Amino acid sequence: MKNLAIYEHRSQPLLSWPLFLRRMLGHGLVALSLLFVSLAVGVLGYYLTEGLSWLDAILNASMILGGMGPVNELHTVGGKLFASAYALFAGMAFLAIAGIMVAPLAHRILHSLHLESVNQR
């Protein structure tokens, strides 16, 4: 059965730099996609629940995703509930995006340390 793992096994050699950079680019594209989807959810939520203009909705959503907090005062119950849920979601999205970006680098470092310990035996 073919190995379906994304990363190489510890018994395999370290990935070459061009292939590693390609892996980083792939992870970056996945992270960027998650960021844009998260931003779209926020923009749509603020637009529909608070009736903000598209520009104000994108400003509020991007500020929440960036960890800065909302810009406009919220007036409706739906808007406040959405903002609360979106803030929690944004925190989790930040952690997921950071994990997606750090995973290949962490794997490469740990893999190289393992290769060094195997070669010393």
- Cα separations in angstroms, 113 against 3, 15, 41, 116, 117: 23, 13, 41, 5, 6
Check residue 1 and give its pLDDT.
44
**Whether domain 28-120 has CATH 1.10.10.60:** no
Q: pLDDT tens digits, residue range 48-104? A: 999 999 999 999 999 999 989 889 999 999 999 999 999 999 999 999 999 999 999
pLDDT at 105 over 90: yes
Spell out the domain ranges in the chain. Answer: 28-120
